[in-house]
Chain A
Amino acid sequence: MTKDQTFAVCCLLLSIYLGYEVFAYPSDSSFFPRVLTVVMGSLSLLFFLRKSFSRKGGGAVNTEKDRPTCKSESGLVSGDADALKAAALVFVSIAVYSMLIGVVNYEVATILFLTSMMLLLKFARIGWIFVIAGGFMGLLWGIFFHLLGVSRPDSIFFS
């Protein structure tokens, strides 16, 4: 299955789930999302069928491309693995950072987050890491908590 077909199937499943959910709501409060789920499901199906037929139509051109593999024309390519790794790093690190803010305070969590990310991403100038982390945290702190008057997030320690 190609990347486009995978996307179409995921959207179709999502629209079925959302449709199941939304059709359980009273009709006067869910007319718009009901229409949207039907439209999304139909578009996903249409897209899946178009991609399936266009693959069959173009099959004689390049047998390598026609093979049901994740490395075809619109399937997974080598850059995708890097993207997935980078995505995992970003989501996990932000999740940990957000939880850390709730445990230690914003300032400590931000410095820990920035220094560990720079170390993890192999920033060459080790001596500068704490300066950059502290400076940037100070800048954000100054703009949001001092200048704009946003209240600091609650934390278990050092609040």
Chain B
Amino acid sequence: MFENMLLGIAPLFSVSMVLAIAGGVTGGVLIGVLPGLTSTMGIALLIPVTFSMPPEIGLAMLGGIYLASTYSGAISAILLNIPGTPAAVATLLDGYPMTRKGESTRALALATFGSCVGGLVSAVALLFIAPPLAEFSLRFGSPEYFLLAIFGITVIASLSGKDVEKGLIAGVFGLLLSTIGNHPMTGFMRFTYDIPALFDGIPLVVSLIGLYSIPEVIDILRRRKTSGRIKLNPDHSNPVKFLPEVIGQKVNLIRSSLIGIAVGIIPGVGCSVGGFLSYDAAKRASKRSGEFGKGSPVGVIASETANNAVTGGTLIPLLTLGVPGNPVTAVLLGGIMIHGLRPGAELFTLNADIVYSFILSLFISNLLFVPVGLFMAKYCVKLIQIPRSVLAPAIMAMAVIGSYAIRGSMEDVWIMLFVGFCGFIMHFFGVPRAPMVLGLVLGTMAEGELSRSLAIVHGDVGAFLVQLVSRPISLVILVLCIFSLVQGIRQQMKKSNDMKNQI
């Protein structure tokens, strides 16, 4: 493992790598600060930019965007009471009250240094947990990989909306979209309607751009009239002087990092849950729990440390098993796959230089967003007031050129528009898009592994089902699939009972 790690260190010292990480972190901070722009959309729009870069550089850039955008949601949450990303909602509870007390720099510094520590600890966890887990994945056969794809969809479908059925329908629809084009084994064309652009299926990145940029632009335009002038309560103290205060919170930092990593590893839970769980744990452990919600520095550190620790955690199942934990990592998986890489043991052996370089670049990104974030926070108000009448056309133009750039085909722009239409319809009906993304990303793998499993038993469906319950690992994954569905249904019933009780 250490030999492989050394292989990954070399590319980090190239100028292009440093520029890519710096660009990714700056772009990520911008995306996180601007409410309405999500990490998912940012990564989806920027994948085409990384497409022609060497894989290690492209992935480092995407990693930088992921980490920085997760952190920088806290900037607008603390300064303006507007969470830039869902991950920053818990930070807002104490961050904004601190700003109102004239302690905005202190709150920003605590959030930034806390995020940095959380991100670094989770990158260490990723570095040491992922390789053995990837080695374990060598025991997986086709039935296990098929079930892993199904597990990814059931767990996200169960957790990402108020109706489990809607999430499952979205997941199945995503899987159906992934079957467009030729069959992985027989080559027979499905749902292509003699359109040549569809023969190889719907390009993943094009569909991700459509699914995440179009509905967001519609949302930005819909909310166009509601924005008003924003006032800031600034203080101009030196943020570095608050570093000892963060270091003094050792227990809080370790506890929050561990919570974040654990939450990240579980698919479908997400950064905001990590932030809230850690905030709650810090509140319970604090002797001055009454200060929480009124500007407690401990609360800011807890939520920010945890939500950035989630990032490394989510990458563990992504890189080792190919199961993304949330929509951002699902899009990131798309970015990994367009570089011709496949998650699993192969990634850590044949492409060790790339994957270790990517993991090690996360350390640099985590350190780099500290100065970038603290510097850009000063311009937060100006950034946030970029008129939506400029932002929306700019995103649309980027979506068009990004979709075209993947294969140099204008037909892909129409495909992006079609998937964007599907995304809008889902958004309109309150259907979560995350299961659909997972269906799209994992569909090809699911169908390929299913076809291989069926070929082994000569197409006998009964024998295939027996295989699923007779192989220990596949049985465990099957039980997890059922458990995630039951858990989702239980949560749904609890919510509807709560609503009835409220009425």
Q: Nearest A residue to B492 by beta-carbon distance? A: A50
Q: Which residues of A lie under 8 Å from residue B214 when comparing CB positions?
A: 90-91, 94
Q: Which residue of B lies closest to A61 (CB)?
A: B503
B125 CB, min distance to chain A CBs, angstroms: 34
Q: Kindly list chain B residues whose C-beta atoms are within 8 Å of the C-beta of A7.
A: 166, 429, 431
Checking A33, A47, A106 against B169 with a beta-carbon cut-off of 8 angstroms, the contacting residue is A47
Choose from A32, A84, A136 the contact partner of B179 (Cβ within 8 Å): A32
Chain B residues lying within 8 Å of A87, measured Cβ to Cβ, are 218, 424, 428
Contact A117 B396 (CB under 8 A): yes
What residues of chain A lie closer than 8 Å to B389, measured between beta carbons? 117-118, 121-123
Contact of A121 among B221, B413, B420 (CB under 8 A): B221
Report the bound CA distance from A50 to B165 in whole Å. 10
Q: Which residue of B lies closest to A44 (CB)?
A: B169
B451 surroundings in chain A (CB, below 8 A)? 31-32
Q: How far is the CA of A29 from the CA of B431 in the complex (A)?
A: 30
Contact flag A123-B390 (CB < 8 Å), given A29-B186, A32-B179, A83-B218: yes
Q: Are A29 and B183 in contact (CB under 8 A)?
A: yes
Contact of B394 among A28, A114, A153 (CB under 8 A): A114
The residue on A at minimum CB distance from B411 is A98
Provide the residues of chain A in CB contact with B420, threshold 8 Å: 91
- Chain B residues, Cβ within 8 Å of A136: 394, 397
Decide if A86 touches B218 in the complex (CB within 8 Å): yes
Chain A residue with the shortest CB-CB distance to B393: A117
Shortest Cβ distance from A124 into B: residue: B387
Most buried by A among B176, B417, B428: B176
In Å, the complex CA distance between A63 and B163 comes to 23
* A12: nearest chain-B partner, CB-CB: B169
Give the number of A-B contacts (CB < 8 Å): 167
Residues of chain A within 8 A (CB-CB) of B176 are: 18, 33, 36-37, 40
> Pick the contact of A89 from B52, B221, B459 — CB < 8 Å?
B221
* 0/1 string, A73-110, CB within 8 A of B gives 1: 01000011011101101110111011001100010001
Q: Which A residues, 119 to 138, have Cβ-Cβ distances below 8 Å to chain B? A: 121-124, 132, 136-137
Bound-complex Cα distance A32 to B190 (A): 11
Nearest residue, chain B, Cβ from A119: B389
C-alpha gap A81/B67 in the complex (Å): 36
A70 close to chain B: CB less than 8 A: no
Query: Nearest-CB distance from B89 to chain A (Å)?
Result: 21
Q: How far is the CB of A136 from chain B (nearest CB, A)?
A: 6
Note all chain B residues with C-beta closer than 8 A to A149: 52
User: With A and B bound together, what is the CA distance between A6 and B405 in angstroms?
Assistant: 37
Residues of chain B within 8 A of A121, CB atoms compared:
221, 224, 388-389, 392-393
Residues of chain A at interface, number, CB under 8 A: 68
Contacts of B503 in A (CB 8 A): 58, 61-62
Q: Quick check: B221 and A26 within 8 Å, CB to CB?
A: no
User: How many chain B residues touch the partner (CB < 8 A)?
Assistant: 62
Q: Which of A21, A25, A148, A153 is B188 in contact with, Cβ under 8 Å?
A: A25
Q: How far is the CA of A33 from the CA of B503 in the complex (A)?
A: 42
Q: Contacting B392 at CB < 8 Å: which of A26, A117, A143?
A: A117
Residue of B nearest to A82 (CB): B222
Cβ of B140 within 8 Å of any chain A Cβ, yes or no, is: no
Is B168 positioned at the interface, with any CB of A under 8 Å from its CB? yes
Q: Is the CB of B417 within 8 A of A94?
A: yes
With A82-B222, A121-B389 as given contacts, are A32 and B447 in contact (CB-CB < 8 Å)?
Answer: yes
A80 contacts B450, CB within 8 Å?
A: no
Contact residue among A86, A98, A150 (Cβ-Cβ distance under 8 Å from B413): A98
Closest to B398 in A: A140
In the docked arrangement, what's the CA distance between A71 and B68, Å?
41
Q: Which residues of B contact A55 (CB under 8 A)?
A: none
Complex CA gap A121/B400 in Å reads 19
Interface residues of A (CB under 8 A from B): 3-4, 6-7, 11, 18, 21-22, 25-26, 28-33, 36-37, 39-40, 43-44, 46-47, 50, 54, 58, 61-62, 74, 79-80, 82-84, 86-87, 89-91, 93-95, 97-98, 101-102, 106, 110, 113-114, 117-118, 121-124, 132, 136-137, 140, 143-144, 148-151, 153
Name 10 extra pairs, CB < 8 A, besides A32-B175, A114-B393, A149-B52: A4-B430, A22-B190, A28-B459, A31-B451, A50-B165, A89-B221, A121-B389, A136-B397, A137-B397, A150-B404
